[in-house]
């Protein structure tokens, strides 16, 4: 038998090592983005934040850890939790080295110091928000949608124009509310609510005819929160694709490394796999024009 060249043996060893420990794409970042070089709120730990309650399909795991309601960000279940842990792994953190803190949605993009390394709660990038905080590149491209109650006149609407006579609502400060104001332009003043829960309750109480939410959230609202809820349809994007990004304190040095991690996860197919796993139902709603 011929003796195998040293270079071949070395290459074979590297392949076997990659097979044993995962693909190269799953390895932690190196260089200036190596774990030891990251600028963090707490050395050696990744401090993340989201809204509370945190709702499916973005989050999951149930109310298994205080103070979290509805979902448990520590679970790794739900699209945003799964993406957060995939990014954490790219940065060199195990699940035990990730801490979660509750921060209201509207406070996440206010100017000033933050108590988190990055925040995830379906925060859409806008130029106005970007002046106060920094955003990562996109981890999800989203469309807005309308939820109403079965049997009501608005539930039969087939176009945006057909929705204008009705009273609509959405959570205050969201792109959902801005979509109502800028694109639907109803004849009745839309209602803004401090939380999405309050908007849903107003729909159930008949105080509004419909609520605008992102499409994945609409599936949760109609499946769990409103017994007779129906997705009337999804809206076209009017100014380019709307995208969700992680929120960082302005000037954060961590953002560049998170973007490197996200780029890896898009390239190696992880993001598409997680979308299929957690957002599989999205896409079935009719288009409204």
Q: 28-141+243-278 architecture in CATH?
A: 3-Layer(aba) Sandwich (3.40)
For residue 5, the model assigns a pLDDT of: 40
CB 39 within 8 A of CB 252: yes
| Residue appearing with tokens 């994007």 | 237
Compute the distance between CA of residue 247 and CA of residue 137 in angstroms, rounded to an integer.
10
Q: How far is CA 252 from the centre of its chain?
A: 20
Contacts of 234 (CB under 8 A, 6+ apart): 143, 144, 145, 215, 218, 285, 286, 287, 288
Fold equal for 28-141+243-278 and 144-234 = yes
For residue 8, the model assigns a pLDDT of: 33
pLDDT in tens, the chain (289 residues): 333 343 333 333 333 333 333 343 456 898 999 999 999 999 999 999 999 999 999 999 998 898 999 999 999 999 999 999 999 999 999 999 999 999 999 999 999 999 999 999 999 999 999 999 999 999 999 999 999 999 999 999 999 999 999 999 999 999 999 999 999 999 999 999 999 999 999 999 999 999 999 999 999 999 999 999 999 999 998 777 899 999 999 999 999 999 999 999 999 999 999 999 999 776 568 888 8
CA dihedral 107, 176, 146, 185 (to 10 degrees): 140
For residue 284, the model assigns a pLDDT of: 67
CB 49 within 8 A of CB 186: no
**CA dist 219 to 15, 45, 112, 126, 176, Å?**
43, 34, 34, 24, 15
Q: Which phi and psi angles does 43 have, rounded to 5°? A: -55, 130
Domain 144-234 is classified in which CATH homologous superfamily? Periplasmic binding protein-like II (3.40.190.10)
pTM of the predicted model, to two decimals?
0.82
- Domain assignments of the chain as residue spans, ordered by start: 28-141+243-278, 144-234
């Amino acid at each position: 038998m011929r003796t195998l060249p040293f270079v071949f043996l070395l290459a074979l060893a590297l392949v076997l090592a990659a097979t044993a420990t995962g693909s190269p794409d799953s390895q932690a970042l190196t260089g200036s983005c190596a774990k030891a070089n990251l600028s963090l709120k707490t050395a050696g730990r990744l401090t993340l934040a989201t809204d509370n309650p945190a709702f499916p399909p973005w989050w999951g795991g149930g109310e298994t850890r205080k103070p979290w309601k509805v979902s448990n960000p520590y679970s790794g279940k739900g699209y945003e939790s799964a993406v957060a842990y995939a990014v954490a792994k790219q940065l060199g953190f195990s699940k035990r080295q990730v801490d979660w803190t509750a921060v209201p949605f509207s406070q996440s993009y206010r100017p000033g110091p933050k108590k988190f390394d990055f925040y995830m709660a379906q925060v859409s990038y806008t130029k106005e928000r970007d002046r106060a905080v920094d955003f990562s590149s996109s981890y999800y491209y989203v469309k807005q949608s309308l939820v109403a109650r079965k049997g009501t006149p608005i539930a039969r609407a087939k176009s945006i124009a057909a929705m204008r006579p009705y009273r609509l609502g959405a959570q205050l400060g969201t792109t959902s509310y801005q979509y109502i104001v800028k694109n639907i332009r109803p004849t009745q003043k839309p209602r803004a609510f401090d939380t999405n829960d309050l908007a849903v309750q107003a729909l159930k109480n008949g105080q509004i005819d419909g609520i605008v939410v992102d499409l994945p959230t609409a599936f949760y609202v109609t499946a769990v929160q409103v017994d007779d809820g129906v997705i009337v349809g999804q809206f076209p994007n009017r100014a380019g694709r709307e995208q969700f990004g992680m929120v960082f304190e302005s000037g954060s040095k961590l953002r560049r490394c998170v973007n490197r991690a996200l780029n890896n996860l898009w390239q190696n197919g992880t993001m598409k796999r997680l979308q299929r796993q957690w957002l599989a139902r999205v896409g079935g709603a009719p288009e409204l024009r």
